Amino acid sequence: MTDCIFCKIAAGELPSTKVYEDDEILGFRDLYPVAPVHVLFIPKKHFANLGEATAGNQALLGKMLLVIGREAAGLGLTEGYRIVSNCGESAGQSVGHFHLHVMGGVDMMWPPG
């Protein structure tokens, strides 16, 4: 999509602090982190959210989870981490391109205490 900020980041048209990249997936640091480690993993192929994913996205979605699992230790997330996907504006999705938030580096127990 020509107006999608994540498509532009994936294409190298906008800068990002990359932590992972292959031919299908890009991982980069969130500009507005809510945890000491907050990385976004996106598919380079555009689809808005899980509601728009098709059977053709199945292998890519699985690969994204495997990549996150492999990359977590290198990000310093040896004590655990949270993976979040917001699906739709009412759920807090602010960019209409599927992405996974990987957050950690702090106690993320819920509910707190």
Across the beta sheet with 18-21, what order do the strands follow? 18-21, 25-29, 37-43, 100-104, 81-84
Q: Is 67 helix (H, G, I), strand (E, B) or coil?
A: helix
- 38 as an active site residue: the answer is no
Indicate which residue of 38, 46, 97, 99 is catalytic: 99
Is the Cβ–Cβ distance between 100 and 87 less than 8 Å? no
Chain-centroid distance of CA 69 in Å reads 12
- The residues assigned a catalytic role are 99
